[in-house]
Structure 1
Amino acid sequence: MPADQLMGDFPPAPDRLVTLSNWRKAPFNSWGFRNVRRLLPTANIAAAGRPLALEMAPEEIGHIGFTGHDGRPTTLSHALRATDTDAFVVLRRGRIAMEWYGSGMSATTPHIVFSVSKSICGTLGGILADRGLLDPDDRVIDYVPELKSSVYAGCTIRHLLDMAVGIAFNEDYEDPRGDVVRYRHAAGWDPLPAGEAPIDLRGFLALQKPDGQKHGELFHYVSTNTDVLGWVYERACDQPYADILSEYLWAPLGAERDAYITVDAQNAMRAAGGVCVTPRDLARFGEMIRRRGVADGRQVVPGEWIDDINERGDPEAWARSELAELFPQASYRSQWYRVDRVKRVLCAFGIHGQWIYIHPEAELVIIRMASEATPLDPDRVRGWRRGFDAIADYFL
């Protein structure tokens, strides 16, 4: 069903109604992902008083070819229309070379970015560390003693940042009885089944147990680690996560529009995946990272933090991980993927097709927002990675 046929009647017909039960399922996600605030409680992330201007420098790049997710030759123009893409922005040297919108999106429509939220959270950590508000080598329970009986009792903030926690949690998005289902109930993302006792997100985090692996020696991708990181920030700053994000990152980088983040019944904010932002503001964020933390001449994120992301990821830990086949020769540091260690290509990546792709040599930032039906489709991930690389090659 086309996105423009959803939620258009008053009231909508049952087959066109987007609800808490179906908002992440196709075709309802094409409306749900850009209207999260109408489905879930949220907290505001205030933008800048004076936004950073984005100049236009259009390039005809729709003809660029690459091998698509189905193994067949395609072009950028065709792929945008054939792969549930909602927004696509290309910045070259900080100017908009191309932007494309579908499914009711525009340059200023907030869209959920799922685990791209993690990279935003990891970036914020560098600012807080630079301000002396926390130390990555501090113990988590020095900030959040409520976690002393959980797996996080033996962790440092650095373990959270690098997904190096030995936690017994399986990040399987499609297991109907798995850890992720219970996690979504705690975050308020899914209705609680009848007869099941309610639990809030922070309470759920405190229940997480170890898997016997030593912290710091592995890469094991688990979203709850980032939610704990957001909780640590709140304790370090004595502020809600949304306000910290606005004060230290979102407003200083020159965001044009307010962002927002989902919250649970106890006002816990989903740092791991609940941020909703506009395409152009996500492009501004990516460009700041490309410029080594600088936006409009101002050092927003310490340049050393960006350098650390590029230089300190552990390729051996990555090679042993469950995601190694998806991004061969990658590494992970401070919630960012370095997918090409030679060319220093950085990516932020979220389920259902959300991307930031940063190619320093090509002076390029690419944003993709999407409403893919499958949370994690490896063929689509690889297809779009080839597409991004082809765009970078065009500009080199």
Structure 2
Amino acid sequence: MNSRRIMAAFPPAANEQVTLANWRQHPFSEWAFRNVRELLPTANIARAPEPAPLSFAPGYLEDISFANPRGETVSVAEALRTSHTDGIVVSHRGRIVSEWYAHGLTPETPHLIFSVSKSVAGTLGGILADLGKLDPDAPVVSYIPEMEGSVYGGGCTVRHLLDMSVGIRFDEDYMARDGDVMNYRRSTGWEPPDPSVPATNLRDYLKTLRPNGTPHGHTFHYVSTNTDVLGWVYERACGISYAKILSQYLWQPMGAEHDAYIAVDSHGAARVAGGICATLRDLTRFGEMMRNHGVSNGRQVVPNWWIDDIRRNGNAEAWSRGDLTKVFPNGNYRSKWYTIERGETPFAAVGIHGQWIYIDPANEMVIARVSSQPLPLDLDLDHMWLRGYRAIAAGLSGES
């Protein structure tokens, strides 16, 4: 199917209509990931009254080369065209050196960032902790008493949520057509209703989740619901909605130029784990703030100690027992951020279908990239782009 015809007519033909049944499937996703507001209820995340200025120093990066999944040498330009990338911004020493858009995306268009949303939530936790509104070591039930009896009772702490070390019985299989992920998606409104399954909502669904027998803190186990519970903790700690917390404490202080938004369920519960839509330039501002130890436009937005903790800590033993060693064999995870390789400086926020913020402090580089890759997890493409990010960093360092 020609993706340019999808949602192009008014009304669209049946085979060109994006619906809840097909919106995460390629090629419908090319349109859907930049038009989530036309598919799902959302809450606004207000921009800053005065955006942090961007500076530009355009460079030519398209000829930088690296290996594709078949071992062939490809250029940045070829990789962008063949990997379902919707847009990319490369920043070096705080200046945008390259910017590229495709498939209808523009600098002003928010794009769904899936689990990059988790890293936003993890960063927000440091701000709230520094303000004394959040205790990372407190039990979850001290904020949400009604979680007693679920996996999030019985000694589960906010830190376990932050580090994905909850001993939860949950199989995060994005390709499954029934089971945990489908039940979860239905609770958020991301799937069409199933008449044979009782209707529910996100918060009620979270209360049904149970332990797997593993002690909390023992094993890295990637489960999105942990981050939705974390957002609920923030709401109880602050007394306002997650979207307002994010705008008040992070999005506006860092100087976001555009409103972002987040998907919500039928009861207004935010899809904290994967529902944020934001522009690439604001994602670049966010990445630059993290690279600069929490400072954006001269303002300390995120406490320096929280970012140091993200980069230096994390439980390597828990990671080695976990379910993402095939992605980053020698990686780590702390407060919703990935360390790519222990002992090296790059760290990243990563979402399914090819969403990335890659931060390389040693080479003073940030790359924000959004995509509509057909597979939720495509290790060949992810590892190709890791080689690409390193090649771009080497090229920028050589130019300087």
Q: Which TM-score tier does this pair reach, normalised by the shorter chain? A: over 0.9
- Aligned ranges 1:121-132 → 2 under 5 Å: 121-132=121-132
Deviations 1:65-105 (A, max 9, x none): 11113332111000000010001100001111001000000
Deviation at 1:139, TM superposition (A): 0.6
- Structure 1 letter corresponding to 2:142: D
Amino acid at match of 1:299: Q
**Residue equivalent to 1:101:** 101
Whether the aligned pair in 2 keeps the contact of 1:354 and 1:369 (CA below 8 Å) is: yes
State the alpha-carbon separation in 2 of the partners of residues 34 and 351 from structure 1: 15
1:146-199 CA-to-partner distances (Å, cap 9, x unmatched) read: 110100002100000000100000111001112101100000001111232101
Which amino acid letter does the alignment assign opposite residue 245 of structure 1?
Answer: L
Q: What is the rounded CA distance, in whole Å, between the counterparts of 1:383 and 1:375 in structure 2?
A: 16
- Residue 230 of structure 1: SS of its match in structure 2? helix
What does residue 321 of structure 1 align with? 322
What is the CA–CA distance in structure 2 between the aligned matches of 1:338 and 1:132, rounded to whole Å? 27
Distance of 1:146 and 1:72 partners within structure 2: 54
Aligned-pair CA distance for 1:395: 2.0
Alpha-carbon shift at residue 316 of structure 1 (Å): 1.7
Shift of 1:340: 2.3
Count of matched residue positions in the alignment of Structure 1 and Structure 2: 396
Query: Which runs of no fewer than 5 residues in structure 2 stay unpaired?
Result: none
Identity of aligned residues (%): 55
Paired residues of 1:343 and 1:360 also in contact (CA < 8 A): no
Question: For residue 76 of structure 1, what is the aligned residue in structure 2?
Answer: 76
State the 1:328 CA deviation: 1.7
Task: Tell me the residue number matched to 1:29.
Answer: 29
What residue in structure 2 maps to residue 67 of structure 1?
Answer: 67
Give the letter aligned to residue 368 of structure 1.
Answer: R
Q: State the 1:342 CA deviation.
A: 2.3
- Separation in 2 of the partners of 1:8 and 1:325? 40
Q: Name the TM-score, length of structure 2 as normaliser.
A: 0.98
Query: Is 1:343–1:359's contact at 8 Å kept on the other side of the alignment?
Result: no
SS in 2 for 1:66: strand
User: 1:106-255, aligned counterparts within 5 Å?
Assistant: 106-153=106-153, 154-255=155-256
CA contact (8 A) 1:293 1:302 kept: yes
- Letter of the aligned partner of 2:345 in structure 1? R
TM-score, scaled relative to structure 1: 0.99
- Displacement of 1:5 in angstroms is 1.4
Shift in Å at residue 13 of structure 1? 0.5
Distance 2:206 2:273 in 1: 12
Rounded to whole Å, the distance in 2 between the matches of 1:108 and 1:69 is: 32
| Residue identity opposite 2:62 in structure 1 | G
Q: Secondary structure at the match of 1:356?
A: strand
The within-5 A match list for 1:338-377 is: 338-377=339-378
User: Which amino acid is 1:250 matched to?
Assistant: W
Instruction: Using the TM superposition, give the Cα deviation of residue 4 of structure 1 relative to its aligned residue in structure 2, in angstroms.
Output: 2.6
Residue 8 of structure 1: CA displacement? Answer: 1.0
Alignment RMSD: 0.8
**1:379, distance to aligned residue in structure 2 (A):** 0.8
Partner SS for 2:18: coil
- Superimposed CA distance per residue, residues 290-327 of structure 1 (whole angstroms, 9 cap, x where no aligned partner): 00000011000000000000111112211121111211
Distance (Å, rounded) in 2 between the aligned partners of 1:248 and 1:309: 19
Q: For 1:223 and 1:195, locate their aligned partners in 2 and report how far apart those are by CA, in whole Å.
A: 25
SS at match of 2:319: helix
Q: Which residue matches 2:8?
A: 8
Give CA-to-partner distance per residue, 1:96-116, whole Å, 9 cap, x none. 100100000011100000000
Confirm or deny: 8 A CA contact 2:85 2:370 kept in the other structure.
Answer: yes
Matches within 5 A, 1:47-58: 47-58=47-58
- The match for 1:19 is 19
Contact 1:69 1:384 in 2 (8 A): no
Q: Which amino acid aligns with 2:127?
A: I
2:91: which partner in 1? 91
Q: How far apart, CA to CA, are the structure 1 residues paired with 2:361 and 2:195?
A: 51
Given residue 377 of structure 1, which amino acid in structure 2 is its aligned partner?
A: D
The CA distance in 2 between the partners of 1:207 and 1:344, in whole Å, is: 39
Q: Cα offset for 1:19?
A: 0.8
Q: Secondary structure at the match of 2:97?
A: strand
| Partners of 2:33 and 2:111 within 8 A in 1 | yes
TM-superposed deviation, 1:61: 0.7
